[in-house]
Structure 1
Amino acid sequence: MWQRGGVDPTPVDVDVALVGGGGAASLVLAALDRHGLSGLRVAVVDPVHKRGQDRTWAFWDTPGNDLDPMLSASWSRVDVVTPAGRRVLSLAPLRYAMLRSAPVYDRAAEAERRLGATRIGAAAGTLDDDGHRVTVRDTDGRALVRAGWVLDSRPRPPRRPGRTSWLQHFRGWWLAADGPTFDPDRAVLMDFRTPQPARGVSFGYLLPVSDRYALVEYTEFSPDLLTDSGYDAALRGYLDLLGIDPAALTVREVENGVIPMTDAPFVARPSPRVVRLGTAGGATRPSTGFTFSAMHRQAAQVAAALAAGRPPVPRPAYPRRHLWMDAVALRALDRGHVGGAEFFDRLFDRNPPERVLRFLDGATSPAEDLAVMRSSPLLPMTGAVLGDAVGRLRARIRRDPAPAPAPGVGSPTGGQAGR
């Protein structure tokens, strides 16, 4: 790996430039290395070289893949808890897995070295795409890189506001105990006994790494963030529900996060040779905020395409029908047509756990999707479907006003604006 420091007046010429060096870019680098693409000229443009533990990803997948050596823990059975009781879910053939950021960043650094990638420690500004090459400029407009393709994982707002815009926001405590306190074979996926917000849904979860070390987290799906003291009070309250005395534990680390949950459209390919990854590329599931599995899929698809000599353009993260279902679910939750705890409880109660998890990953068939839809509260969801259809029609009318007639012509001419 070549580390470029300062500002060089001569831009680097590469085949692929990764703009942003976080989780999405790290997964791409590892995938490029797995495919043996050592002849590919790669640059990474980011002012920060990510290292260490700054986040934790929890997701479900099938055992036996490239992530196995990096996992902190995994579980074949998880609990979903509501005020009515506890449901123990067997996930086979899937697993619920925990991956911390340090091994991901370490693996990416090793991939950079093996690929001979150039790292440019500067913040990227504009991406000038002429259809043949892309010039990556810094924030002062100086050219840093010229690339055949740019994979941009920087956060970006959607193309336009959504009809429903919520957030998945959370705080987690990494807790250490002096003696055996946690059951490392028992993870809690969702515990809805937490006090529910007036508009939204909350839950806690518990991911034990050992009998003395675990991540305990409080999460909300709602439009508004809490204060620091609000998150801490919610976490203490959840520990009380678990029957765990906070005074007997030490908080080793604190994790916070905010992830968009919206039916707003994200532009995955803003120009011919620029491809967006991560949340900006549509990897975040609107109805849950889950992102990691789609990022992992995108990375594998990008690397496979480059290895085959194809454009590094991943498939859409989720089928269009799933995005529509998410928009309806968000509307139903936002308008209070259905309670969040009730909605998720019915999903797990009336479907095999493996189907629910594959649905949330966008991997179910149309027939399975119909089964998932039938398991939701039909009357409230029907109202949400009608409301969503009206909202889409109104949004389309606002975006596509009828053109004014040309002089002397009795009917409108020209194309529709705003597409």
Structure 2
Amino acid sequence: MSSITLIGSGGAGLAFLHHFASSAIRHWPLTVIDPNPQSAHSKTWCYWSEPGELSQLTPDFSWTDFMVSGTTDATTCELNRYRYHCVGGASFHRIVMNQLKSLPNVRFIHEKAESISWNPQNTTVEVTLSNTEVVSSVYCFTSAPHESPEKLQQDRASSPFLQQFAGGIVAFDKPVFDADTLTLMDFKVDQHPGSVHFAYVLPHDANKALIEITAFTPELYSEAHFHKAFIRYVERIASTKNCGYRLLEPEQGVIPMHIGHHARKLNPHTFTLGTQSGMVKPSTGYAFFAMHQQARFYINELMAGGGTLRAYPAVHGRFRFYDALLLDILRVDPHQTISIFQTLFRNVNTDRVMEFLRESSSLPYEMLMFSKLPKKPFLKALWRHVFS
């Protein structure tokens, strides 16, 4: 019997293994269940950190500055305390697998977990696999969806907005990028009623970048819609140097921008991780740093002993309230968010903004920050939030 069963080895599962492998409990028997551990290789995770944070994780690319471009002007933001990082799914998987090489107590089972049950008599968690094998352990952590496909579809349908993106890594024949500066948001793309579109550009070097067209939208757009917007944006870049380009690796995805209840504990010894436990920030889609905070919390809980683990604290309070206000503005007048983001990065200290976005800022500074933003959209959203 294992001490720990880990279901899923995507971003949240790899974060758990990353912190487990360098902890005092790394000798504990651990079973990883995932039918397709390579499925996360095509993903890209971005985060920002201070020196010393996630120091064992080597990102693929890092930037010191970023740009936010409106319809008429652009703001270049310099990061001082933080660095903005990008790590590909294949790289993150390779880093963690190298950590686990010296740990024979970690085993992998390439089967699907069909069910999770609690055995009160033995005080164990029992996971039934697609091949009918039953894996028993003292504790279980899962990042796999625990709802039915129908319920997941209902949750997506009930999300007021979706963050949908598509694009890929593009290589240009000539240098077209400043390799030290990423484009966080470029709103100089075609806008459509009821949604907000922007380009997101992560330069790998002067010639190559990950370019994505992102939409905050109440309903899914077609692949053709994104392909047209993506090609138009890429050709605009190519035209500045009169050069050709090649699409190397396509990427696409959908993130629900949803504030709702997430089950953090499925039974006395089974806990959810990552997206399933609400680690994705509803208003931005960022999750990587939060997943590592959650993983570190659970490893510390296991090291502390005592038998009963606390569930990772749910993120409620004022930060979810802020998310709710922004999502309400998106719902009622999405194009207002363009001026909000422009003003935010133009008028507020960049490091303070990044601190706020990862939910570690102080209330007094948040009030100061909001005082520098357009007030009417937030006051209207607050009125609707209170009285509707």
TM-score, length basis structure 1: 0.83
* Equivalent residue letter for 1:212: N
SS at match of 1:284: coil
In 1, the alpha carbon distance for the partners of 2:10 and 2:385 equals: 35
* TM superposition shift of 1:185: 1.6
Residue 337 of structure 1 contacts residue 381 of structure 1 at CA under 8 Å; is this kept in 2? no
* TM superposition shift of 1:325: 1.3
In 2, the alpha carbon distance for the partners of 1:263 and 1:34 equals: 33
* TM superposition shift of 1:309: 2.4
In 2, the alpha carbon distance for the partners of 1:388 and 1:276 equals: 29
- 1:21 corresponds to: 9
* Equivalent residue letter for 2:87: L
1:210 aligned to which of 191, 199, 205: 205
- 2:360 corresponds to: 363
- 1:10 corresponds to: none
Residue 275 of structure 1 contacts residue 313 of structure 1 at CA under 8 Å; is this kept in 2? no
For the pair 1:169 / 2:169, whether they are aligned, the reply is no
In 2, the alpha carbon distance for the partners of 1:360 and 1:308 equals: 30
* TM superposition shift of 1:254: 0.4
* TM superposition shift of 1:178: 3.3
For the pair 1:328 / 2:325, whether they are aligned, the reply is yes
For the pair 1:136 / 2:127, whether they are aligned, the reply is yes
Quick one: structure 1 residues 197 and 139, their matched pair in 2 at CA, closer, same or farther if it must change by over 3 Å?
farther
- 2:295 corresponds to: 299
- 1:187 corresponds to: 182
In 2, the alpha carbon distance for the partners of 1:122 and 1:52 equals: 16
C-alpha deviations, 1:25-77, integer Å up to 9, x for none?
A: 11111111111423211110111122784111122111334456521111111
% identical aligned pairs: 27
* Equivalent residue letter for 2:37: H
* TM superposition shift of 1:338: 6.1
SS at match of 1:270: strand
C-alpha deviations, 1:356-388, integer Å up to 9, x for none?
A: 111111111122222233334323222212322
RMSD of aligned Cα (Å) = 2.5
For structure 2, the 5+ residue unaligned runs are none
C-alpha deviations, 1:301-348, integer Å up to 9, x for none?
A: 222222332656564364521011111210121012761211211222
- 2:196 corresponds to: 201
Quick one: structure 1 residues 52 and 227, their matched pair in 2 at CA, closer, same or farther if it must change by over 3 Å?
closer
C-alpha deviations, 1:264-314, integer Å up to 9, x for none?
A: 222222322111111111110011111111112112222222233265656
Residue 264 of structure 2 contacts residue 312 of structure 2 at CA under 8 Å; is this kept in 1? no
SS at match of 2:266: coil
1:118 aligned to which of 99, 107, 112: 107
For the pair 1:379 / 2:376, whether they are aligned, the reply is yes
Bigger-Rg structure (1/2): 1
- 1:79 corresponds to: 67
Residue 167 of structure 1 contacts residue 258 of structure 1 at CA under 8 Å; is this kept in 2? yes
* Equivalent residue letter for 2:96: A
* TM superposition shift of 1:156: 5.0
Residue 261 of structure 1 contacts residue 289 of structure 1 at CA under 8 Å; is this kept in 2? yes
* TM superposition shift of 1:194: 1.4
Residue 56 of structure 1 contacts residue 100 of structure 1 at CA under 8 Å; is this kept in 2? yes
Quick one: structure 1 residues 312 and 356, their matched pair in 2 at CA, closer, same or farther if it must change by over 3 Å?
farther
Residue 59 of structure 1 contacts residue 96 of structure 1 at CA under 8 Å; is this kept in 2? yes
* Equivalent residue letter for 1:379: K
Residue 201 of structure 2 contacts residue 212 of structure 2 at CA under 8 Å; is this kept in 1? yes
For the pair 1:61 / 2:49, whether they are aligned, the reply is yes
For structure 1, the 5+ residue unaligned runs are 1-12, 392-419
Residue 60 of structure 2 contacts residue 91 of structure 2 at CA under 8 Å; is this kept in 1? no
TM-score, length basis structure 2: 0.89
- 2:262 corresponds to: 266
Residue 267 of structure 1 contacts residue 280 of structure 1 at CA under 8 Å; is this kept in 2? yes
